[in-house]
Structures are given as structure tokens and as C-alpha cells.
């Protein structure tokens, strides 16, 4: 199956073994230890991190250690040839700071200094981090808490965690570079995030923005610019696996059976067109459409829909939900990233978390805060346990990936898994847990089908939002929490107050007792936009590390301070004020690509 990755080689992690360059005894005694340290780091990364296609992350180690600037230059040349996008320097000893440093400003960089007493690896680490700071190249410092013997070949747990967190975030940066965000349409209903800003994508993410008018969907569908064999297969699969739900429209408004069937055919073709617009399709070249076959090299996209399209044609709910999921008529596969209402800022949040986790993402309205008292007033039921302090209703018509129903399992618990770990039975369970209701014709005059499911409770989740302030720039919000369940009768009553045709996730953020996380209401009240991007897992610490690489400050978070891992120089901007230091450092160093 065609994906954006077919046309792009995955970036690699470069490991730089740096050494004391004094020959005639010193360097020779350290060669094996230094190179073995690099090999341990590479082994750790390749064994634990994967690319979006499921293959192990590749590392590049030069055949020589780096004792000075000539060898540093030779290593850099090798990294350029081998598509290295992330750089980590390792050493067990003193080396010559700026003579051995890596200076490519586009590569995220870290330094692991071995904590041993035989040689001063920690001294080099400190000198090197000072050199990076002085040269305006923020670097992440990795230094184990406990002293190790020179012969100890283990990677301590705290070092392991930082290496993987750095490499995971650095690869996300490299994977985005020179890819595209594809906007299908323009702004939707005045939503601020759907005014796609090319400067944000270029300066902060290193990405292009591409624009396609929604009439391109109509052109391709009317003129048959899609793979007809795949379309037939997709229609048959959809009829078999996508069960139609209740039509909640008033009888006088409801479409006929023939009209509904025509909508099904149209929305399936819309999904094919959207995917082909993003990544291309070689079959189109064989059909005589070489330009359309190329695609837009899009790693993420958005569909405006409302209102110009949805007042006239079936909505984009099916294309958004099915493309964001990890399976379709072609089987189990990597999810695509498609933002509802072309909210590109929320799409960017989905993209960041996808690249960190390789898991499908959930796009939702951060729609309603329900207090325990409000639920009791409306339903007569008292909330207990996780729900006692209230919860947030996450719901949206389109881009809820079907994975978010929670029918996949990790260690016996509900989960959203990387596609290579999803079984056919789990994909089938997600499809069976989803019904497709005729769109509310009050919202969507052109019809279409909205996915409807209820997320299982107990999934660890992280909700994020990227927003922008004029004169300040972008900032990020992070809320870790859990999906939760309500009694069925309560869910039904609350859903019927909003839209019972849409996917539903009840979310409870983890409270800290202070600031915006003193209670659930305060989280909802402090959220910076109407949408949120939600990922499986508590990944706030990884997002924090990535945000610093991108120079996007974190304004709201419930990630514990001890888990925050940012460039070492961030401490110069206020060691006792992590939020303020983050803002000051990001503003000082500015966007990497600007």
C-alpha cells in the first residue's frame, strides 16, 4: 500500500564516540571503552524504538572515534551521506570540547557523559554543554545518577530513559522535516486553528503547507480519478464491516434508502481521494493521471468540510475516521493523520503524538465539563470513584479513530496499539463496536455518516493542544489522564443532550491540587481552544522534550517536574521556574528553521 514513507528514507540516529585525542597511551587505552559505549547506545535505541512502518530505528556509528575537529568533520560528512537526523555524543572520558562538538543546527543533539571516577566523562559533559550553550546550540545532557565502574557495561535505568526520550523526540523532528501538511479547503466556520499558517509549519516544524480546494474531490469522483478495483473492494468491505446505526433525523427530513446508499458510495470515494491527495497512488499513473499519482508528500492533512462542502455534499466524517484508524479495506496498516474542520493546529498536535507513539490519534471537541452535581441533577445518579470529581466530554463528528473505542488489548487492558501489534480480531472488534449513523441533517445538509462508539474506561491518555497568541507565538498544553466509563443509562442521557451520532470519550485528567489541575473544571476552563488531540498513554514527558526541540513552550501541564527533560541550557533561564524558563529559552533561541 502506498504511504508517504515509500518516497522518503527514514532518518537515522547518529552516535558520535568522542575520545581524548592524546596519543601514545591515553587515546589507545580508551578506544575500546569509547566505541563500546557508542554500540551500547545504538543497541538500546534499535531494540526499543521503531519507525512508523514498524521497522527498528537504525543507528550510524563512524568506524573511528572523534578526538578533534578533523574527525568531527569526517563524522559529519558520513552523517550527511547516511541521512542522520539526530545526533548523540557519548564519551567515558575528558575530550576537547568545541574541537569535537557536532555543529549542525538542524540535528537535535545530546551528550551522554559516563559517570565514572577513572576518567572525567562528567567533566567533558559539563564543558561540552557549556560550549553548546555558548554557541547557541541547545543540547540535552545525559548523566547517570550513580557512579559506575569503568568496566561496567550496563546502561543505568535513568540514563536509558533519557536516551530513549531524546531519541524518540529527535526522530519526530527529523521525520517531519520537508514533509507537508495538506489543507483540503480553507477555514471552517471561523475556527482559529483552521487558518493554516505556513510560517508556523515552516519555522517550527520544518514542514511545507499545501492547499487543495475541496472541489478537487468532486472532480476526481466525477471523472473517476481513483483506483476502480480498490474502490469496488472498499465498497464491499464497507457494506460488510461498517454497520449502519439509527437515523436520528426527523422522519420528514430522512433520506431514502437509495439516497443513503449513494452517500455510502460517495464517502468511500472521498476517503480514497483524500489518501491519494496526501501520498499519491501509482495506479493513477497507469490510468493516465501522472500528476495526480504523485500526491503532496503529506504527513498530515485536514478537511474543511463545514460549511461550504457539507451544505452540499456528504460530510468528511467517514474519510476522517477511517483514515485516522489503523485498518481499512486494505487490512491493518499505519494510520494517517487527518484533522477535522482543517484545524491544522490540532492536526499538528496529533502528528507530534503519532510520531512519538506510532499509534492512531483521537481528534475531539473538548466539549463539556460535567460536575458530579450536574450529572446527579440531570440523571439522578451519583458519580463515584474516578468520576466523583467530574469529567470532560470529548466528542466530535469526524476524526475519532476507531482504535479509540478501546477494543484492542495490552496486558489484558483496553488500549490503542501500534498497527503491527494489532490482531485481525482486535480490528474486527473495533469495527463491531462502531456504528455509522446518518449525519444530522441540521448540521450536515449534504448527508454522510458519522462514526459512533464509546471508549472503554481505564485507558491512560494524554490530551494536548497547540495554540497561538499574536506577538507571542505558539504554545502547548498537556493534560494526562484516563478514559472513564459511566453507567449506560447515564451515558445515553448525556449523549442525547448533545449529539448521539458521534464517538464519545469521557476523560478525567490527573489532578495535582494546584493551578489549572486543582480540579477538573479548572482544566476545562483553562483549555486554549475548542479542540484537543488525544493519544493513548501518559506521554507528557516525551511531548515536553519534543516541544523544547521545536521551541514551543509548554504553558499548562500536569507532567511531574522530575520527568521534565529539556536542553541543559534551559536552566540558565530560571532553574526554579520551569514554565517561565521554557518560555524565555524558546523565545531566546527562536524557531530552528527561521
Catalytic residues: 341, 365
Q: Of how many residues is the chain composed?
A: 594
Let me know: does 270 contact 221? Beta carbons within 8 Å.
yes
Place of cell 467530574: 390
Q: Give dist(CA 256, CA 480) in Å, integer.
A: 44
For 567, the grid coordinates are: 536542553
DSSP H helices, 441-531, are 488-495, 520-526
- CB 311, CB 162: distance < 8 Å: no
Burial bucket for residue 384 (CB in 10 Å: 0-12, 13-18, 19+): exposed
351 within 8 A of 300, measured Cβ to Cβ: yes
**Cα 51 to chain centroid, rounded:** 13
Instruction: Identify the CA nearest to 440 among candidates 450, 426, 452.
Output: 450
C-alpha cell at 531: 479542540
Residue with cell 552516535: 15
Distance from C-alpha of 108 to C-alpha of 545, rounded to nearest angstrom: 11
Q: How many CB atoms lie within 10 A of CB 432?
A: 13
Q: What are the CA-CA distances from residue 34 to residues 91, 266, 540 (Å)? A: 6, 60, 33
Are the beta carbons of 108 and 142 closer than 8 angstroms? no
- DSSP-based three-state secondary structure for 155: coil
Q: Which of 497, 516, 400, 411 is nearest to 454 (CA)?
A: 400
For 390, which DSSP code?
A: -
C-alpha cell at 90: 557519548
DSSP state of 157: H
Residue 132 Cα to chain centre, angstroms: 28
C-alpha grid cell for residue 576? 526554579
- Answer whether 212's CB lies under 8 Å from 184's CB: yes
Among residues 499, 379, 404, the alpha carbon closest in space to that of 457 is found at: 404
Amino acid at each position: 500500500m502506498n504511504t508517504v514513507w515509500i518516497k522518503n528514507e527514514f532518518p537515522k540516529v547518529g552516535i558520535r564516540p568522542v575520545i581524548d585525542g592524546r596519543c601514545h597511551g591515553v587515546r589507545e587505552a580508551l578506544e575500546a571503552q569509547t566505541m563500546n559505549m557508542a554500540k551500547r547506545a545504538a543497541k538500546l535505541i534499535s531494540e526499543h524504538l521503531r519507525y512508523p512502518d514498524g521497522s527498528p530505528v537504525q543507528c550510524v556509528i563512524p568506524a573511528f572515534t572523534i578526538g578533534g575537529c578533523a574527525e568531527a568533520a569526517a563524522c559529519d560528512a558520513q552523517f550527511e551521506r547516511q541521512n542522520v537526523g539526530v545526533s548523540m555524543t557519548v564519551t567515558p572520558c575528558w575530550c576537547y570540547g568545541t574541537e569535537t562538538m557536532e555543529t549542525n543546527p538542524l540535528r537535535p543533539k545530546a551528550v551522554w557523559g559516563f559517570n565514572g571516577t577513572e576518567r572525567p566523562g562528567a567533566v567533558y559533559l559539563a564543558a561540552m554543554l557549556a560550549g553548546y550553550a555558548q554557541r547557541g546550540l541547545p543540547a540535552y545532557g545525559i548523566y547517570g545518577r550513580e557512579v559506575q565502574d569503568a568496566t561496567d557495561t550496563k546502561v543505568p535505568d535513568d540514563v536509558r530513559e533519557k536516551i530513549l526520550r531524546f531519541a524518540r523526540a529527535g526522530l519526530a523532528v527529523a521525520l517531519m522535516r520537508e514533509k507537508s501538511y495538506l489543507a483540503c479547503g480553507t477555514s471552517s466556520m471561523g475556527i482559529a486553528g483552521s487558518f493554516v499558517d505556513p510560517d508556523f509549519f515552516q519555522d517550527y516544524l520544518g514542514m511545507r503547507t499545501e492547499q487543495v480546494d475541496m472541489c478537487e474531490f468532486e472532480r476526481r469522483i466525477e471523472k473517476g480519478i481513483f483506483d476502480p478495483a480498490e474502490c469496488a473492494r472498499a465498497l464491499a468491505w464497507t457494506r460488510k464491516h461498517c454497520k449502519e446505526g439509527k437515523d436520528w433525523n426527523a422522519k420528514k427530513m430522512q433520506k431514502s434508502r437509495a439516497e443513503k446508499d449513494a452517500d455510502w458510495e460517495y464517502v468511500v470515494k472521498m476517503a480514497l481521494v483524500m489518501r491519494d491527495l496526501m501520498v499519491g497512488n501509482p495506479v493513477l499513473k497507469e490510468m493516465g493521471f501522472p500528476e495526480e499519482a504523485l500526491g503532496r508528500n503529506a504527513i498530515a492533512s485536514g478537511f474543511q468540510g463545514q460549511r461550504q462542502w457539507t451544505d452540499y455534499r456528504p460530510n468528511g466524517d467517514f474519510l476522517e475516521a477511517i483514515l485516522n484508524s489503523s485498518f481499512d479495506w486494505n487490512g491493518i496498516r499505519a494510520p494517517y493523520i487527518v484533522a477535522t474542520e482543517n484545524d491544522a493546529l490540532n492536526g499538528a498536535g496529533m502528528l507530534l503524538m503519532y510520531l512519538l507513539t506510532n499509534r492512531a490519534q483521537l481528534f475531539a471537541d473538548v466539549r463539556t465539563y460535567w460536575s458530579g452535581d450536574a450529572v446527579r441533577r440531570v440523571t439522578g445518579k451519583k458519580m463515584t470513584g474516578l468520576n466523583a470529581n467530574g469529567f470532560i466530554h470529548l466528542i466530535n463528528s469526524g476524526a475519532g479513530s476507531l482504535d479509540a473505542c478501546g477494543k484492542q488489548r495490552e496486558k489484558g487492558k483496553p488500549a490503542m496499539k501500534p498497527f503491527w501489534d494489532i490482531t485481525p480480531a482486535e480490528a474486527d472488534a473495533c469495527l463491531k463496536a462502531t456504528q455509522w449513523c446518518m449525519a444530522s441533517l441540521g448540521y450536515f445538509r449534504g448527508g454522510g455518516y458519522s462514526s459512533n462508539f464509546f471508549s472503554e474506561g481505564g485507558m491512560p491518555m494524554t490530551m494536548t493542544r497547540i495554540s497561538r497568541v499574536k506577538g507571542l507565538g505558539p504554545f502547548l498544553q498537556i493534560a494526562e489522564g484516563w478514559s472513564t466509563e459511566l453507567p449506560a443509562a447515564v451515558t445515553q442521557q448525556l449523549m442525547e443532550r448533545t449529539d448521539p451520532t458521534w464517538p464519545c470519550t469521557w476523560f478525567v485528567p490527573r489532578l495535582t491540587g494546584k493551578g489549572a489541575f486543582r480540579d477538573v473544571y479548572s482544566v476545562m476552563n483553562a483549555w486554549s481552544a475548542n479542540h484537543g488531540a488525544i493519544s493513548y498513554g501518559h506521554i507528557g514527558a516525551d511531548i515536553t522534550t519534543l516541544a523544547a526541540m521545536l521551541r514551543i513552550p509548554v504553558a499548562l501541564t500536569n507532567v511531574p517536574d522530575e520527568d521534565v527533560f529539556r536542553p541543559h541550557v534551559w536552566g540558565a533561564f530560571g532553574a526554579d521556574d520551569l514554565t517561565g524558563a521554557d518560555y524565555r529559552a524558546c523565545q531566546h533561541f527562536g524557531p530552528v528553521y527561521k
